[in-house]
Amino acid sequence: MESHINFHEMNIDDRLLKAIANNGWTEPTLVQERGIPILLEGKDMLVRARTGSGKTAAFVIPVVQKILEFKERNSDSYSTQALILAPSKELCTQIHKNILQLTIKCSRVVKCVDISAQIDMKEQQPLLNTPPDIIVATPARALLHLQANNFTLDKLQTLVVDEADLVFSFGYEEEIKEIIKYLPKVYQAVLASATLSEDVLELKKLILRNAVTLKLQEPDLAPLSQLTHYKFNAEEEDKAVILYCCFKLKLIKGKTIVFVNTVDKCYKLKLFLEQFGIHTCVLNSELPASCRYHTICQFNDNIYEIIIASDEKFLDEEHEVNSNKTSKRKHDKEFGIARGIDFQFVSVVINYDFPLDIYSYIHRVGRTARGKNKGTAISFLNIKEQHLLKDVEDYIKQGISEENDIFQVFNFKLEEVEGFRYRAKDAWRAVTKIAVREARLKEIKYEMLNSKKLKRYFQENPRDLLSLRHDKALHTVKLQDHMSNVPDYMIPTSLKDFIQNQDEDNNKGGKKKDKEYYKKLQVGYKKYQAKKSNPLVGMEFTGLKKV
């Protein structure tokens, strides 16, 4: 039987061990168990591990450990010891946040700054006057500061490139080659990636020397015991009806991400659900970076539970990036929803539009069932999308001995919710192209106003920033009060007892109890996750059953 190494057996500083305990990590994940000792030995490493496997901590812990050891020998020395590059601002912010969590017991010793934000460089310069121990940045931003002599890498110990398979796809090849010129002759390098693409191998030649390749023998997705896959065949209007019913009747519980394939569909769904009093927020590449980051933070802090995200394929492949150069719409090349962004404690991922390829499906549903938590993925498919499902199923079946189908049938009986269908069709038709366009303009203008004119105000009044919610109604479609209510006659007979029990729980303080559950979940309690791990279990609705 193979023995496992725990954190306290890796010769890690006590301050790091206390921070790890604060995060509720009782034992290392596979990539952490294998990767941390290799990096502590000072070897270069190329690590390939699936989304949600704990790659970030696997390289952050050794980086911080080496800095603590350096500071013990050179307490009066100030120099940048580590540069961490990532392809998007959101991912940089997430890495920076993880570093702050892991250095909470040594924050006076280890200083980390994130310079990925696209603001005036003069505003960031004071952060670099005293060389920080760790700098997190996109390749483009790091190069600009290096060229301006705002910091140097003469004494760099470690270079990390996270989501390495996206770095060239995002157009950073030239920036990486220029940054290498500023590096010392000797340094340790780490490439972390979800896939071993040709771009990663090219990057390996540029950066790594005699590297250890850590390719973990684990599937791209969590096992079926941890992640349950559902499918449902439906055309466009039926998809909207099902989504409306699932949210309004609380058939789906917990934090949910709804994926669509276009920005327009983001707003169309938001405006559709808005008519029924279902609050959602959108996330796409047209929104300002500060808005996107704030949206993710509020979602992770349980301020709202539903995000509608557009997963634009052109962000994942270089030829797609190039093919969109003539597009009239301005997208942020440093933005990608499905890759790298840490949506915490997601219970359900819904593919409203089925992803266009296998890897997009893997990265989408990888937002749930992260770490050791359980999750559910529900995919809606129309006739044109059926062939895509087979490709995904064949891929997931590789290396799995089970003969059962990967996708269970989400057997929702539309005839039992005919009243909902009637309402949904009217609401769907009400969301015209003009309404969608106005909603997009309204939200972008609103976020730009907040990010520019109120920036200083929010810095001085951070509590007011918390009250800025991204799931507010856009009001470009006429709202009718009666639409948000569900009369008793519309509720299927098989669901009436279920709804009544929920109402009774809420009246007895169930809402307060839910908030307490979320707080416990954030500090590592497992009881809450066990109770809500699969939102479809325990329902007595005959329209939903396993086949």
* DSSP code, position 186: S
CA distance to 159, 306, 485, 507, per residue, from 423 (Å): 56, 21, 11, 28
Query: Which has the minimum average pLDDT: 28-42, 170-184, 214-228, 315-329?
Result: 315-329
Do 206 and 243 have their domain in common? no
Region 382-388: what's the mean pLDDT? Answer: 89
Q: Is 535 part of a structural domain of the chain?
A: no
57 contacts: CB under 8 Å, gap ≥ 6: 25, 29, 32, 98, 102
Q: Give the pLDDT confidence score for residue 514 in this predicted structure.
A: 54
Q: In this model, does residue 249 exceed pLDDT 80? A: yes
Same domain, 362 and 310: yes
| Mean pLDDT calculated for residue range 401-423 | 82
pLDDT at 540 over 70: no
Per-residue model confidence (pLDDT) at position 363: 82
pLDDT (mean) for 321-345? 50
- Helix (H), strand (E), coil (C) string for 253-279: CCCEEEEECCHHHHHHHHHHHHCCCCC
Which residue range(s) make up the domain with 42?
A: 7-215
Find residue 304's DSSP bridge partners.
none
pLDDT 10s digits, 502-534: 666 555 555 554 555 445 444 444 443 444 444
- Report the alpha-carbon distance of residue 404 to residue 332 in Å, rounded: 41
pTM for this model (two decimals): 0.67
At residue 198 the predicted structure's pLDDT band, cuts being 50, 70 and 90, is confident
Residue the block writes with tokens 């670099």? 128
At 74, the pLDDT band (50, 70, 90 cuts) reads: confident
Q: Of the candidates 501, 518, 535, which is a domain's last residue? A: 501
Most confident of 5-14, 436-445, 482-491: 5-14
DSSP per-residue letters across 282-296? EE-TTS-HHHHHHHH
Query: What CA–CA distance (Å, rounded) separates 397 from 401?
Result: 8
pLDDT, tens only, 143-152:
999 999 999 9
177-186, 287-296, 339-348, range with greatest mean pLDDT: 177-186
Of 460, 484, 501, which residue sits at a domain end? 501
Residues 175 and 304 placed together within one structural domain of the fold: no
User: Same domain, yes or no, for 195 and 282?
Assistant: no
Cα 137 from Cα 87, distance rounded (Å): 8
Residue 511 counted as domain residue: no
Q: Which of 225-229, 446-450, 512-516, 522-526 has the lowest mean pLDDT?
A: 522-526
Looking at the domain assignment, is residue 323 inside a domain?
no
In terms of domains, do 202 and 267 share one? no
Query: 285 in a domain, yes or no?
Result: yes
| Residue 319: predicted pLDDT | 31
- Residue 376, strand partner residues: 228, 348
The answer on 147 and 246 residing in a single domain is no
Query: Measured between alpha carbons, how far is residue 336 from residues 30, 91, 117, 192, 289 in Å?
Result: 26, 9, 16, 17, 11
137, containing H or E segment: strand 134-137
The domain boundary, picked from 215, 241, 258, lies at 215
153 pLDDT higher than 90: yes
Q: How long is the chain?
A: 547
**Whether residue 375 sits in one domain with residue 262:** yes
Burial class (CB in 10 A: 0-12, 13-18, 19+), 322: exposed
Give the pLDDT score at 19: 96
Domain count, the chain: 2
Task: Give the position of tokens 């089925």.
Answer: 354
To the nearest 10 degrees (0 to 180), the angle between helices 173-180 and 139-147 is 40
- Integer Cα distance of 141 and 127 in angstroms: 14
Q: Check whether residue 203 and residue 251 sit in a common domain.
A: no
pLDDT at 165: 84
Residue 134 and residue 85 share a domain: yes
Which of residues 391 and 466 earns the better pLDDT score? 391
Does 48 lie in the same domain as 148?
Answer: yes
Model confidence at 453: pLDDT above 80: no
- Report the relative pairing of strands 188-193 and 45-48 from DSSP bridges: parallel
Q: Extract the tokens encoding 95.
A: 């890495």
259 strand-pairing partners: 309, 351
Query: Which residue do the tokens 């008519």 mark?
Result: 275
**419 and 471 part of one domain:** yes
150 and 180 Cβ atoms separated by less than 8 Å: no
Which candidate, 111, 32, 37, 31, places its Cα nearest to that of 77? 111
> Is the separation of the CB atoms in 260 and 310 below 8 Å?
yes
Sign, CA dihedral 450-452-455-457, equals negative
What pLDDT sits at residue 312? 52
pLDDT at position 340: 52
- If one compares 476 and 401, the residue with the highest pLDDT of the two is 476
Residue 217, pLDDT > 90, answer: no
> What's 185's domain CATH number?
3.40.50.300
pLDDT for position 531: 42
Backbone torsions φ then ψ of 119, nearest 5 degrees: -120, 175
- Per DSSP, the residues of 200-266 read HHHHHHHH-SS-EEEE-SS-SS--TTTEEEEEEE--HHHHHHHHHHHHHTT-S-S-EEEEESSHHHH
148 domain residue, yes or no: yes
- Spatial neighbors of 236 by CB under 8 A, at least 6 apart, are 382
CA distances (Å), origin 81, targets 69, 111, 154, 183, 309 = 11, 10, 9, 11, 36
Same domain, 150 and 67: yes
Taking all residues of the chain, what is their mean pLDDT, rounded to a whole number? 81
For residues 469 and 214, give the distance between their C-alpha atoms in angstroms, rounded to a whole number: 41
Q: Point out the least confidently predicted range of 73-87, 271-285, 292-306.
A: 292-306
Decide if 544 is inside a domain.
no
Instruction: Give a yes or no: residue 529 inside a domain.
Output: no
Residue 419 belongs to a domain? yes
